[in-house]
Structure 1
Amino acid sequence: MQAEMSFLIDSNVVIAAEPFNGQLEELQPVVSSFMRLAAEHGHRVYVHPATLDDLQETTDPKHRAQNIAAYGKYAALGELPLPQQVLDVFPTPRSSNDERDARILAALDAGAVHFLVTNDQKLRRRAIRLGHEPAVLRPTEAAQQLAAWHPDAPPPPPSVEEIKTYELDAAQPIFDSLRADYNPGFDGWIGKVKKESSIRRAWVVRADDGRYEALAIVKMRDNHPTKPSEVAIKLSTFKVDDLSAGRRLGELLLKAVLRWAHEEPGRPSEIFVEVNASKDRLHDFLADFGFTEVATKHGNPDEQVWLKVLDPPPGAALDGLEHHVAYGPPALRAGQPIFVIPIIPKWYEDLFPDAEVLGPSGAVPLAWTDPDPKAHGNAIRKAYLCHSPTKNIPSGSTLLFYRSQGGVKGDGAIVAVGVAEQSLRSGDPIETIGLSFKRTVYSEADVADLHKDGKEVLTILFRHDRFVVPSWTVDVLKANKVLRGHPQSVTRVSNPEGVAWVESQLNVWR
């Protein structure tokens, strides 16, 4: 199966694809990669007449002529009526920019294309408000996803390394922007961080050549940003190298920080980070994982303070998914449906490459599993595809991932826990792709094989909550009335005693 997908690009992507006067746009490398992969594999890239209207407002006449010529290289969609649900995500009265964006969103909302590729934060947010989050891609995401979709030799995902702050290498390129921000005080700041290794923690993700690809530093106790008499954890540095954008290293790093916070005895119950008001992408990232903007930094209105609560307050009454996003990972809510999800070793390796344990046989990958897990295993937000006849997994459900034996007798066990976001059972490969593309570890060939002979596929979007250490074997599950035997398909835990046992083991919030 050649799944032909369609992408709508906006004016910023059109401009980035075309150097002007020898000057390359910042997005040019990833846009070029996306365009090349789309062309190589027969995917369609469209523009919209609203983009032409935008390009015609380019001030410089030579640049305007080039932009209009660039627009002409692409097939254009037709205009569609503006439905009320699209207009509802815009203010009244609408500006000319709003009108153009509404016309683009009308095309996405009508299903004229499968994906919208844009780096425009307002356009992205409005598309998400319309319910099209799976279909909105940044250029970096589009390039990375097409590379994963048509793999040559996907690199293994990196691991997070916790180091002492005095071991930090301040000459690493990832510090260059911080050096500029702190100028002339960077040396004093990094010197202080190194000396305070007893009250700080640091995590890095390294490339093969030793370069820091991502970095996080926390101060274990700092003055609370909004409660003068209290303390909170300060996430003082959180940065992913620009060259590594799109590989979900931010999620990988955040998992490490939150896992540490969950296990750290006596730590404060809230964590905060100060973010420059111009960092829209980081704002979106933080909001996705339960941080909320609570204040601006005293004396510096350009610095916003974002806060996440780690311990649910008394009386917290969010539903299962909202509870997990607000307080986790890990964080589970009592009373949610519980499903056991069987997963073969290969897909387990791809989805959970940072696993602490694979099963009763130990932590060594089985010989036939993929030695190069795909980068989306880094993420907190994941997708799993299977042939289960189950029609629907309700949002907020607790998912228990059962790693099947894989030929090793007695090795089957529940090894990981997730929280369901959304599910879809479909016989249409394009529907499967549309829902899972942003998060998938599955290639085009994988999806084609799953849909072979018209088979329906259940797509489950979920958030990784934690690993189960030690894992729960079938004998343990049977003894506690969670399962009656080895699960062959997605199975709901229905026995009240089994439900109670699972919730007690996972220390769910009641």
Structure 2
Amino acid sequence: MRVLTDTNIFILREDNSVVSENLQNLLRILNKESVTILIHPISKAEIKKDKDKDRKKVSLSKIETYPLLESPPNPIGDNEYLTVVGKPKNSHDINDNIILYSVYKNAVDFFITEDRGIHKKASKLGIEDRVFTLDEALTTFEEMFKEFQPPYPPAIAAKKVYNLDVNDEIFDSLRDEYDGFDEWFIDISKEGRDCWVHFNSDESIGAVLIYKQEDDIIELKDKTLDKKKRVKISTFKAKKTGFKIGELFLKLSIEFALKNNATEIYLTHFSKPDDHLVELITDYGFSYVGKNRRYEDDVYLKELNPSKEDLKHLFDSDGPVKVAKTFYPHFYDGTEVNKFIVPIRPEFHHRLYVDYKGRQTTIPEFSNEFIIEGNTIKKAYICNSVRINMNPGDLLFFYRSHDVKELTTIGVVEKVFIDKNKEDIIKIVGKRTVYTNKEIEEISKKRTFVILFIMVFHLPKSIKLEELKKANVLKAAPQSIINVTDKYITIKELGDINGRFTFD
């Protein structure tokens, strides 16, 4: 992206004012995103005409670090353009017309100026959406380059690395594995590197994931991976076990990468025999691609934009469940799988989907406690239902009953169990379920339906019961699981499901 900047913007930096602060923020954003900031040669020539030598020297010093727009187009001979902008009144007007012509002819993407006359001309030309004041530019680029943060439970905090204690026990093993760990920690602190962290009750670190966005090559021992926009998981460590924090971190990382338009996500790791982390990440599509050239640790990478051909190839060889795991959160939604609406009571929805919009946080969560089943990607749902022909790969649309009365979430069936006793159900669901032993005992007194599934994501647009009825998807609020295969296209449209994540 190329942004032309009027020199009057830079001259404002001399003032100790809010405008100057806004410019500093704008430049920080543009520099971080590697946006090319350009100065028009005529703008520089105008400064050189300043008779105040001291002011001229200062002004020129403000723009010397920015390149000039190369071979800028000249409007001489473009009668249509000159007619619209009007006859120039003076040399300053002529220069404004030449500078604005660079936007008009698409030599640059945007132009930032405080000159109201230029803004009026831009409006006449129909390019006013590409010509900003400083405040407009700051607002626009802040929104354009805003880093998306996925919703995370209260037990997780988003922190800067420099706010962590480098001497915390959780870093001891990393210090043993990596020579120069402390120097590296200082470097990433200076970078302002981000992390997600869980603190124990004594303020020690129970789990931490340090990450960064990058656009660089990956140097392996035997090859080099091309430059791409990636998210690198620099550190992935959980000392606190049994809470499915690994799955939670993985979910947050993938969602963060997707929302910030990364094409791949990767991490480096010194693998060990029976390595739990390797088992976890490979289950969700991370593949070993080689050894890091510098440290010789293993590099695991996940493709976030698989082609339809890759998805179909895996589907043909291993089926829809393998697709949902390997290319999570992509899924197969073609005719070979059925689609079901599954009603779920608010109290169970609350525990199963801790990141759902508008959810009220519980008191234990404020004390850094986890709702374990809320951390998982693989979840379990138990209900009393009539016998339904449900198979692995089928799609589930969870309908939150009683209060909001809307379809909220998509899942892919992994396994289905019917008519199991309490002991068997407990063994099957493990820590995936939202139900207590007592609740399982009560449910298992009737015909029991146990569904193990992979949560894909919440619907971009939840679908209210009234919408479902109006679209003839439902006649009334569902009381049990309903097959809606023939209504899926309608649900897909109403829920604004992005076809990027589906294939048939």
Rounded Cα–Cα distance in structure 1 between residues aligned with 2:425 and 2:453: 15
On the 8 A contact 1:160/1:252 being kept in 2, the answer is no
- The residue identity in structure 2 corresponding to 1:263 is K
Rounded Cα–Cα distance in structure 1 between residues aligned with 2:234 and 2:190: 15
- The residue identity in structure 2 corresponding to 1:466 is F
On the 8 A contact 2:372/2:431 being kept in 1, the answer is no
On the 8 A contact 1:158/1:207 being kept in 2, the answer is no
On the 8 A contact 2:155/2:370 being kept in 1, the answer is no
What residue in structure 2 maps to residue 113 of structure 1?
none
After superposition, give the CA deviation of every residue in 1:236-285 in whole Å (9 maximum; x if it has no partner): 111101xx1111111111111111112113x2x11121121316222111
Asked whether 1:284 is paired with 2:284, we answer no
What residue in structure 2 maps to residue 307 of structure 1?
301
What residue in structure 1 maps to residue 497 of structure 2?
505
**1:311 to partner: Cα distance:** 0.9
Rounded Cα–Cα distance in structure 2 between residues aligned with 1:482 and 1:503: 12
On the 8 A contact 1:309/1:326 being kept in 2, the answer is no
Rounded Cα–Cα distance in structure 2 between residues aligned with 1:363 and 1:439: 20
What residue in structure 2 maps to residue 59 of structure 1?
none
Asked whether 1:492 is paired with 2:483, we answer yes
What residue in structure 2 maps to residue 127 of structure 1?
none
Q: How many residues align?
A: 333
**1:383 to partner: Cα distance:** 0.8
What residue in structure 2 maps to residue 401 of structure 1?
398
Structure 1 residue ranges without an equivalent (≥5): 1-156
Rounded Cα–Cα distance in structure 2 between residues aligned with 1:182 and 1:481: 60
Structure 2 residue ranges without an equivalent (≥5): 1-152
On the 8 A contact 2:397/2:411 being kept in 1, the answer is yes
Task: Summarize the Cα distance change of 1:350–1:171 in structure 2 as closer, same or farther, 3 Å threshold.
Answer: same
After superposition, give the CA deviation of every residue in 1:348-386 in whole Å (9 maximum; x if it has no partner): 12212x2232xxxx433699xxx9874222111111100
What residue in structure 2 maps to residue 195 of structure 1?
190
The structure showing larger relative contact order (alpha-carbon pairs under 8 Å, at least 6 residues apart) is 1
On the 8 A contact 2:380/2:433 being kept in 1, the answer is yes
Matched residue SS, 1:228: strand
Task: Summarize the Cα distance change of 1:296–1:481 in structure 2 as closer, same or farther, 3 Å threshold.
Answer: farther
Asked whether 1:238 is paired with 2:236, we answer yes
**1:314 to partner: Cα distance:** 4.1
On the 8 A contact 1:381/1:463 being kept in 2, the answer is yes
Asked whether 1:435 is paired with 2:428, we answer yes
What residue in structure 1 maps to residue 199 of structure 2?
206
**1:458 to partner: Cα distance:** 0.4
After superposition, give the CA deviation of every residue in 1:8-38 in whole Å (9 maximum; x if it has no partner): xxxxxxxxxxxxxxxxxxxxxxxxxxxxxxx
RMSD: 2.8
What residue in structure 1 maps to residue 473 of structure 2?
482
What residue in structure 2 maps to residue 377 of structure 1?
374
Q: How is 1:111-260 mapped onto 2 (pairs within 5 angstroms)?
A: 159-183=155-179, 185-197=180-192, 200-221=193-214, 222-224=216-218, 225=220, 227-231=224-228, 232-241=230-239, 244-260=240-256
Matched residue SS, 1:441: coil
- Provide TM-score, normalisation by structure 1: 0.60
On the 8 A contact 2:333/2:395 being kept in 1, the answer is no
Q: How is 1:274-353 mapped onto 2 (pairs within 5 angstroms)?
A: 274-278=268-272, 280-298=275-293, 303-316=297-310, 317=312, 318-319=314-315, 320-328=320-328, 330-335=329-334, 336-352=337-353
What residue in structure 2 maps to residue 459 of structure 1?
450
Rounded Cα–Cα distance in structure 1 between residues aligned with 2:348 and 2:289: 40
Matched residue SS, 1:458: strand
Matched residue SS, 2:331: coil
On the 8 A contact 1:340/1:493 being kept in 2, the answer is yes
After superposition, give the CA deviation of every residue in 1:198-239 in whole Å (9 maximum; x if it has no partner): xx4321122333322111112311423554332333211111
Rounded Cα–Cα distance in structure 1 between residues aligned with 2:173 and 2:282: 23
Task: Summarize the Cα distance change of 1:229–1:378 in structure 2 as closer, same or farther, 3 Å threshold.
Answer: closer
Task: Summarize the Cα distance change of 1:501–1:483 in structure 2 as closer, same or farther, 3 Å threshold.
Answer: farther
Matched residue SS, 1:355: coil
Matched residue SS, 1:417: strand
Matched residue SS, 2:473: coil
Identical residues among aligned pairs (%): 30
Rounded Cα–Cα distance in structure 2 between residues aligned with 1:322 and 1:308: 15
- Provide TM-score, normalisation by structure 2: 0.60
Matched residue SS, 2:477: coil
Matched residue SS, 2:332: coil
- The residue identity in structure 2 corresponding to 1:332 is F
After superposition, give the CA deviation of every residue in 1:147-192 in whole Å (9 maximum; x if it has no partner): xxxxxxxxxx753322233333323322222222234x12210111
Task: Summarize the Cα distance change of 1:215–1:240 in structure 2 as closer, same or farther, 3 Å threshold.
Answer: same
Task: Summarize the Cα distance change of 1:415–1:169 in structure 2 as closer, same or farther, 3 Å threshold.
Answer: farther
**1:195 to partner: Cα distance:** 1.8
Matched residue SS, 2:474: coil
Rounded Cα–Cα distance in structure 1 between residues aligned with 2:490 and 2:285: 30
Rounded Cα–Cα distance in structure 1 between residues aligned with 2:459 and 2:496: 13
Rounded Cα–Cα distance in structure 2 between residues aligned with 1:425 and 1:399: 17
On the 8 A contact 2:463/2:495 being kept in 1, the answer is no
Task: Summarize the Cα distance change of 1:187–1:365 in structure 2 as closer, same or farther, 3 Å threshold.
Answer: closer
Bigger CA radius of gyration: 2
On the 8 A contact 2:254/2:265 being kept in 1, the answer is no
On the 8 A contact 2:283/2:326 being kept in 1, the answer is no
- The residue identity in structure 2 corresponding to 1:208 is S
- The residue identity in structure 1 corresponding to 2:462 is S
Matched residue SS, 1:505: coil
Rounded Cα–Cα distance in structure 1 between residues aligned with 2:281 and 2:452: 19
Matched residue SS, 1:284: helix
Rounded Cα–Cα distance in structure 2 between residues aligned with 1:456 and 1:219: 49
**1:413 to partner: Cα distance:** 1.2
Rounded Cα–Cα distance in structure 2 between residues aligned with 1:228 and 1:285: 23
Rounded Cα–Cα distance in structure 1 between residues aligned with 2:322 and 2:399: 24
Rounded Cα–Cα distance in structure 1 between residues aligned with 2:205 and 2:170: 6
What residue in structure 2 maps to residue 94 of structure 1?
none
Rounded Cα–Cα distance in structure 1 between residues aligned with 2:154 and 2:169: 18
Rounded Cα–Cα distance in structure 2 between residues aligned with 1:262 and 1:270: 9
What residue in structure 1 maps to residue 44 of structure 2?
none
What residue in structure 2 maps to residue 426 of structure 1?
419
- The residue identity in structure 2 corresponding to 1:395 is P
Task: Summarize the Cα distance change of 1:382–1:314 in structure 2 as closer, same or farther, 3 Å threshold.
Answer: closer
